[in-house]
Amino acid sequence: MIRLKYRDMKATEFSRSDVDKEKFYSLLGRELEKLKGLNLHRKIDFGLEKDGKLSGLPFTLKDSICSEGDPTYAGSKILEGYRPPFDATVVEKIKKAGGNIVAKTHQDEFAFGTGCTNCAFTTPKNPWDEERCCGGSSGGAAGMAAALDLPHINLGESTGGSISVPASFCGVVGLTPTYGVVSRYGLISFANSLDKIGPIARNVEDAALGLEVISGKDEMDQTTVESEGDYREALEEDISGMTIGLPRDYFEIADDEVSETVEKAVSELEQLGADVKKVKLEMTEAALPTYYIIAPAEASTNLAKFCGMRYGMEGELEGNFREYFSKIRGQGFGEEVKRRVMIGTYTRMAGYRDKYYIKALKVRRKIINDFKHVFKDVDILAAPTSPVIAPKIKELEEMPPVEQYKIDKLTAPINLAGMPQLSVPCGLNKKMPVGLHLMGNHFDEKKILKVGHAYEKQRGKINYPEVEDDG
Ligand code: GLN
């Protein structure tokens, strides 16, 4: 009965006076317990925060976002036992606005992956089909958005597509902001020039609220800029007269059925008065190899601090430092982490640096220019978020790494450009969700949000899978 009352209630409506916070939180506690395949650390002291604009709204955090005193492992055994003595800036902002951190969600180890099969703890199952993955690396966050039908917001993080891809696989909304709109202070870094924290929610309005709360300039992260403030402001604006570009090659790369589903969604945007035109992006094919050079190069330096002395896992102090360092990392890191350390170290080694890392930086500049050029002609771009629907967990586990990397083909380019993206569910293929990817120029969050919101209204309600009630 009470669950019914909150079912489909938006996060933006949570401050309504008829919400009985005590009852709500006891229900939430039970629901989170049921969803333990998606989240590793639940907080039972839900601290009934009633003040502030969020009025106690629950938030979950990807496991790589630090919150004071809470286990924060970034999906890795090497961080088991680590409890940060501080809050990430996004967490501080949520708490200040009266939000409540209630759980940490599963992810790929250090965010390396596309289906959470690289998580050291468990691989979250897709609520639409338990044999399939939730996507990665913010898989637990997207699974949570799909399965928890109570008002809440999940924070994920994207380096090369880790918000959009899982949002698309789980049929929820993922918002990746422009690089620098949200502070990275307190995020366990993957690749500093690419990482972006962003909200994953059940609808566009809630995602906009999430960004509103966490964005803004932060003296602890010198790459941040002032927030645009109210990201919900433009949601109801008319989209007629806007020009939407369709990058032709994105539709060719995606599976036919996925492209067809997205094309149907685009025709709905046309019905709403948007002008649609095909565009050509020249650098799409170059993006994946560029991403898989730059991201591991940065990651391999970031991972050097996990040496078994400062955070998490510790071992017997035997041998010299090199021996200890190798032994502890040999035990604490998973296979994909070791692979990325090796790739990243190799590509920025003296002798190879010019050939790989420096060259990749130059290509990255060309990719940015490619997008900038296209945004002279169109307001936003629309394409499939991912070339495929959520793969089966077993398939993904058996897939060679390079094949897995290809799932990022449509999200790597825009992530390298540091431009904002919004994945909105737009239909089903083989009974699994497909995502419509709306991409904008730097700081054009409001444009993609208003198109996403208009589309969502036109599309109508999603019938999310019923999660087993065993209690
Ligand atoms: N799948 C990509 C990778 O493995 C992206 C991950 C991410 O965005 N964190 O690197």
pLDDT digits (tens, 9 = 90+) for 318-343: 899 999 999 999 999 999 999 999 99
Of 43, 62, 93, 104, catalytic: 62
Per-residue pLDDT tens for 277-287?
999 999 999 99
Q: What is the pLDDT of residue 4?
A: 77
DSSP assignments along 422-467, one per residue: EEEEEEEETTEEEEEEEEESTT-HHHHHHHHHHHHHHH----PPPP
In 82-152 the beta strands, taken as DSSP E runs, fall at 100-105, 125-126, 129-133
- Tell me the CA–centroid distance for residue 106 and ligand 1, in Å: 14
Q: In this model, does residue 269 exceed pLDDT 80?
A: yes
Q: In this model, does residue 129 exceed pLDDT 70?
A: yes
Give SS3 for 7: coil
Of 64, 162, 227, 386, catalytic: 162
Sign of CA dihedral 385, 463, 131, 61: positive
Closest Cα to residue 105, out of 129, 75, 67?
A: 75
- Domain borders along the chain are 2-281+381-459, 284-368
**141: exposed, middle or buried (C-beta count within 10 Å: 0-12, 13-18, 19+)?**
buried
**Atom number, ligand 1, closest to the C-alpha of residue 138:** 9
Distance of CA 302 to CAs 239, 298, 413, Å? 42, 6, 22
Q: What is the pLDDT of residue 468?
A: 67
Q: What is the pLDDT of residue 40?
A: 82
Task: Please compute the mean of the pLDDT values over residues 378-396 and round it to a whole number.
Answer: 98
Residue 1 — pLDDT band, cuts 50, 70, 90? low
> Do you find a cis peptide bond into 168, omega within 30 degrees of 0?
no
Residues 6+ apart with CB under 8 A from 334: 76, 77, 109, 118, 120
Closest Cα to residue 456, out of 208, 209, 173, 135?
A: 173
- Tell me the CA–centroid distance for residue 22 and ligand 1, in Å: 38
Task: Please compute the mean of the pLDDT values over residues 3-27 and round it to a whole number.
Answer: 88
Q: What is the pLDDT of residue 22?
A: 87
Q: What is the pLDDT of residue 470?
A: 47
Residue 21 — pLDDT band, cuts 50, 70, 90? confident
Q: What is the pLDDT of residue 46?
A: 63
Single-letter amino acid, residue 189: S
Of 64, 76, 137, 183, catalytic: 137
Q: What is the pLDDT of residue 43?
A: 76
**Considering the chain, what percentage of its residues have pLDDT values greater than 70?**
97
**Spatial separation of the C-alpha atoms in residues 346 and 394, rounded to whole Å:** 30
Q: What is the pLDDT of residue 51?
A: 65
**Spatial separation of the C-alpha atoms in residues 121 and 108, rounded to whole Å:** 9
What predicted TM-score, i.e. pTM, was given to this entire model?
0.97
Q: In this model, does residue 273 exceed pLDDT 80?
A: yes
Quote the CATH superfamily of domain 2-281+381-459.
Amidase signature (AS) domain (3.90.1300.10)
Of all protein residues, whose CA lies closest to atom 5 belonging to ligand 1? Answer: 160
Q: Is 137 a catalytic residue?
A: yes
Q: Which of 63, 106, 114, 133 to mutate to test the pocket of ligand 1 (most atoms within 8 A of CB)?
A: 114
Q: What is the pLDDT of residue 48?
A: 61
**130: exposed, middle or buried (C-beta count within 10 Å: 0-12, 13-18, 19+)?**
exposed
Phi and psi at residue 302, in whole multiples of 5°?
Answer: -60, -35
Task: Please compute the mean of the pLDDT values over residues 81-85 and round it to a whole number.
Answer: 94
- Tell me the CA–centroid distance for residue 137 and ligand 1, in Å: 6
**Atom number, ligand 1, closest to the C-alpha of residue 407:** 1
Q: Is 305 a catalytic residue?
A: no
**Spatial separation of the C-alpha atoms in residues 445 and 180, rounded to whole Å:** 12
Task: Please compute the mean of the pLDDT values over residues 126-145 and round it to a whole number.
Answer: 98
Residue 50 — pLDDT band, cuts 50, 70, 90? low
- Tell me the CA–centroid distance for residue 280 and ligand 1, in Å: 25
Q: Is 162 a catalytic residue?
A: yes
Residues framing ligand 1 (Cβ under 6 A): 111-114, 136-137, 158-162, 190, 295, 408
Q: Minimum mean pLDDT among 42-56, 139-153, 260-274: which range?
A: 42-56
Per-residue pLDDT tens for 417-444?
999 999 999 999 999 999 999 999 999 9
Q: In this model, does residue 471 exceed pLDDT 60?
A: no
Q: What is the pLDDT of residue 8?
A: 83
Of all protein residues, whose CA lies closest to atom 10 belonging to ligand 1? Answer: 112
Give SS3 for 181: coil
Which of 38-52, 308-322, 334-348 has the highest average model confidence (pLDDT)? 334-348
**Atom number, ligand 1, closest to the C-alpha of residue 159:** 8
Q: Which of 105, 112, 385, 406 to mutate to test the pocket of ligand 1 (most atoms within 8 A of CB)?
A: 112
